[in-house]
């Protein structure tokens, strides 16, 4: 009896969420995939018309801007977050005083939603009320910083706000990794006469490989699905200069009555995420099997 | 017809099992986005009128000017088989829904009350589908207005401009006086609103052929290049900090005397009135120079959702919407003008009276056109494709020639 219960209880408990995920995640992925093969406009229609939405999507200027912006945003966001997160973690790991006080300070931005971050940075970067105007009031009249209003540089302000938000979180991940490294290894290396820099470069950072991988996967999917930050910070502007695939998807599906194209862009985003997650899962599962 | 989606869609069957409430027979459930103070008060007028007829009102406000959020909610509700009874709608949305067969036929009320004779024919093009009335228009906003600060105008010579050249010289004079000549908010729809006036100032024929008929020769032609050149000229009178600014903040710049004028639809008047300014003495309202006699409009309408026929409550609501007393009371508050031409103008201020006279004259002269910026010339997909080009050019992405060429290809891609 007990064995029977032990066998079935986990399945019964998991069944509702399994079923909900099956329908609401995988079911709708398939549904979206099908919509991308139709000429759906305002409402879903179901007449199959093949893959013609895909070449049409990649012919759109607007989509090219969005993908270009994602490349700039994604690369800089992941790179800068990782570097800043790693530096902060290493500095905090030097057994400094007040670490318990400093750590949450760096971590707190993560507690805010991207909407709040976006709105706060919008005000801060606005030349009329933010940094530039404060500098002018303080007497630095030649100070000039209007990136958020500049078509070419606006996407970099999105990177700034996102990095500010996420690098503390990356720091926490690296800090956990650092704490997991045996202190004996460092001592051994010190006895061998290795410099601090060399210890980090040759021993510690290579040992943080799993933390790098997790940080990369988390940051990459945050970058691909980034929507609320852009909406709050620039709303895709100036002009259409900061559109990202996620804002493209929403606007084509729900505002422009081009649901077929919107679904197509959603599928492309899904493929991007899969191309990051699947190699990650594969390497994780393989190493589990090996051990 | 609505049931068709219900059966076909996986989403529908799932959501339906959770959705419970359906409005009672004698109630109307009204989906709208009139949530700001004055608008909400105006909706109250309609609600009271219906209560007098024994029809209950189930309010379903979805905030968000322009109604994008409301339209998204509507799609979800219709797909789920639970459509509201009455929905505030704009332009092509009405036609799109009517084409889906989702809207109730209002011919009986329309015939009994003689709507055909009092509603301008350019509006009827949106209120009717296949010759049948499917929506009741509440108001007519027009977009080719310029709102000028009286003191800034006096300092710049005192004469309201009537041609493009005069407009440029007034803007130059304002610039010389040290204020921002043109208050503008850098959002795609605001640039498109300005473009309505600019395109119309190049001739009614050009406006119709480029923005309504989508004639490729007009879309990419010399006049379109000139329209973008004029947009570029206007851009040079806007301050550098414009992008992302809301339209009411741009109005506030004119009200505070920081800026000379704003090119915006007649809803801007509400901002001036709220600030205690008087039309004529504190601010001046003129048609966009070169567009006198023509009007670009957008119109809020109520469409009734129904699987079959219209209910008594829906007909009562349509009749209340078209009531001249309501049309007058509502539009005085809203800043727009009545959607029927037989409403007396005594309750309206100077700008409102001018708006009503212009509307009637334009209707008679055949120079009443839908507003491109507000979805009354082309469906949403094409409208947004035009937005992309207009806002791109205004923000320096294209030269005027490139923008005209891009206009042709963007419209073709969105068709």
Cβ B254 vs Cβ B260: under 8 Å: yes
Q: For chain A, what are the domain ranges? A: 72-208
Work out the minimum CA distance from B240 to partner chain A, whole angstroms: 8
Work out the minimum CA distance from A251 to partner chain B, whole angstroms: 9
CATH topology for the A72-208 domain = MetI-like fold (1.10.3720)
Q: Which residues of A touch B10 (CB under 8 A)?
A: 27, 31
Structure tokens at B41: 């008060």
Separation CA B313–CA A108 (nearest Å): 54
In whole angstroms, what separates CA A45 from the centre of its chain? 33
End-to-end Cα distance, chain B: 25
Q: B77: closest CA among B23, B131, B132?
A: B23
In whole angstroms, what separates CA B28 from the centre of its chain? 24
Test mutation, A31, A52, A238, chain B, max B CBs within 10 A? A238
Measured CA to CA in angstroms, residue B119 lies from A7, B8, B125, B326, B363 at distances of 72, 38, 10, 15, 10
Q: How confident is the model at residue A197 (pLDDT cuts 50, 70, 90)?
A: confident
Chain A to chain B Cβ contacts (< 8 Å): 90
Domains of chain B: 2-141+298-365 (3.40.190.10), 145-296+370-414 (3.40.190.10)
Separation CA A66–CA B175 (nearest Å): 37
Q: What is the dihedral of CA B197, B201, B205, B206, to 10 degrees?
A: -80
CB within 8 Å of A47: residues ≥ 6 apart: A38, A39
Separation CA B275–CA A98 (nearest Å): 53
Task: Tell me the mean pLDDT in the region B290-295.
Answer: 93
Q: Can you give the three-state secondary structure of B261-295, one letter per residue? A: EEECCCCHHHHHHHCCCCECCCEEEEECCCCCCCE
Measured CA to CA in angstroms, residue A195 lies from A199, B288, B415 at distances of 6, 74, 66
Arithmetic mean of pLDDT over chain A? 89
The 10s digit of each residue's pLDDT in A149-186 is 888 899 999 999 999 999 999 999 999 999 888 888 88
Q: Is A140 on the interface with B (CB under 8 A)?
A: no
DSSP string, B127-181: HEETTEE-EEE-EEEE--EEEEEHHHHHHTTSPPP-SHHHHHHHHHHHHHTTSEE
ipTM: 0.79
Percentage above 90 pLDDT, chain B: 56
Separation CA B43–CA B326 (nearest Å): 10
> Residue B22 above 50 pLDDT?
no
Q: What is the CA radius of gyration of chain B?
A: 22
A232 against B64, higher pLDDT: A232
Task: Tell me the mean pLDDT in the region B91-107.
Answer: 89
Is A44 in Cβ contact with B9 (below 8 Å)?
yes
Cβ A223 vs Cβ A203: under 8 Å: no
The structure's pTM equals 0.84
Q: How confident is the model at residue A1 (pLDDT cuts 50, 70, 90)?
A: low
The 10s digit of each residue's pLDDT in A91-128 is 998 888 888 888 888 888 888 899 999 999 999 998 88
Task: Tell me the mean pLDDT in the region B165-189.
Answer: 94
Q: B75: closest CA among B102, B37, B56?
A: B102
Q: Is A126 on the interface with B (CB under 8 A)?
A: yes
Q: B242: closest CA among B275, B194, B196?
A: B194
Could you count the other beta carbons within 10 Å of the beta carbon of residue A19? 10
């Amino acid at each position: 009896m007990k064995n029977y219960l032990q066998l079935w209880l986990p399945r019964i408990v998991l069944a509702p969420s399994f079923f909900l995920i099956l329908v609401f995640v995988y079911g709708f992925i398939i549904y979206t995939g099908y919509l991308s093969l139709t000429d759906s406009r305002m409402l879903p229609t179901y007449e199959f018309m093949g893959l013609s939405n895909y070449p049409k999507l990649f012919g759109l200027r607007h989509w090219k801007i969005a993908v270009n912006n994602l490349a700039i945003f994604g690369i800089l966001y992941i790179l800068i977050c990782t570097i800043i997160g790693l530096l902060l973690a290493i500095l905090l790991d030097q057994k400094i005083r007040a670490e318990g006080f400093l750590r949450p300070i760096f971590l707190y931005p993560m507690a805010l939603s991207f909407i709040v971050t976006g709105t706060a940075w919008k005000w801060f970067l606005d030349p009329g009320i933010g940094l530039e105007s404060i500098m002018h009031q303080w007497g630095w009249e030649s100070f000039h910083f209007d990136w958020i209003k500049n078509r070419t540089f606006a996407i970099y302000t999105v990177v700034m706000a996102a990095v500010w938000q996420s690098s503390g979180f990356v720091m926490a991940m690296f800090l956990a990794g650092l704490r997991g490294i045996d202190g004996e290894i460092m001592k051994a290396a010190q006895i061998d006469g290795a410099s601090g820099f060399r210890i980090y470069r040759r021993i510690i950072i290579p040992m943080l490989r799993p933390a790098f991988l997790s940080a990369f996967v988390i940051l990459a999917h945050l970058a691909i699905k980034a929507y609320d930050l852009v909406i709050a910070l620039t709303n895709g502007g100036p002009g259409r200069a900061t559109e990202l695939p996620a804002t493209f998807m929403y606007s084509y599906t729900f505002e422009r009555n081009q649901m077929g194209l919107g679904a197509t862009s959603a599928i492309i985003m899904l493929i991007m995420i899969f191309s990051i997650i699947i190699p990650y899962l594969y390497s994780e599962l393989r190493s589990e099997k090996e051990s | 017809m609505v049931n068709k989606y219900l059966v076909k869609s996986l989403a529908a069957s799932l959501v339906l099992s959770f959705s419970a409430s359906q409005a009672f027979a004698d109630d109307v459930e009204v989906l709208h986005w009139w949530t700001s103070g004055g608008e909400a008060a105006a909706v109250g007028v309609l609600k009271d009128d219906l209560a007098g007829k024994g029809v209950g009102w189930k309010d379903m406000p979805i905030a968000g000017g322009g109604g994008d959020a409301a339209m998204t909610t509507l799609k979800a509700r219709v797909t789920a088989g639970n459509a509201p009874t009455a929905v505030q709608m704009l332009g092509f949305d009405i036609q799109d829904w009517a084409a889906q067969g989702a809207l109730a036929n209002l011919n009986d009320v329309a015939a009994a009350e003689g709507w055909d004779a009092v509603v301008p024919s350019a509006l009827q093009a949106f209120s009717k589908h296949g010759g049948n009335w499917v929506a009741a228009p509440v108001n007519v906003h027009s977009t080719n207005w310029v709102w000028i600060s009286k003191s800034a105008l006096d300092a710049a010579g005192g004469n309201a401009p009537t041609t493009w050249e005069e407009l440029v010289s007034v803007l130059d004079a304002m610039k010389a006086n040290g204020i921002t000549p043109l208050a503008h908010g850098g959002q795609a729809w605001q640039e498109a609103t300005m473009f309505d006036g600019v395109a119309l100032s190049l001739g009614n024929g050009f406006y119709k052929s480029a923005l309504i008929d989508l004639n490729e020769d007009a879309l990419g032609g010399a006049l379109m290049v000139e329209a973008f050149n004029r947009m570029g000229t206007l851009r040079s009178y806007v301050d550098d900090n414009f992008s992302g600014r809301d339209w009411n903040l741009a109005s506030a710049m004119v009200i505070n005397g920081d800026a000379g004028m704003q090119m915006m639809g007649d809803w801007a008047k509400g901002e001036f009135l709220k600030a205690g300014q008087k039309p004529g003495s504190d601010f001046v309202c003129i048609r966009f120079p070169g567009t006198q006699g023509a009007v670009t409009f957008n119109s809020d309408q109520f469409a009734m959702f129904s699987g079959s026929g219209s209910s008594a409550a829906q007909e009562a609501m349509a009749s209340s919407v078209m009531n001249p007393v309501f049309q007058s009371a509502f539009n005085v508050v809203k800043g727009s003008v009545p959607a029927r031409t037989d409403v007396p103008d005594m309750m309206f201020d100077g700008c409102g009276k001018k708006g009503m006279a212009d509307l009637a004259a334009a209707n008679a002269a055949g120079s009443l056109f839908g507003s491109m910026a507000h979805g009354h010339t082309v469906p949403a997909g094409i409208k947004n494709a035009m937005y992309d080009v207009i806002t791109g050019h205004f923000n320096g992405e294209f030269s005027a020639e490139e923008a005209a060429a891009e206009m042709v290809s963007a419209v073709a891609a969105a068709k």
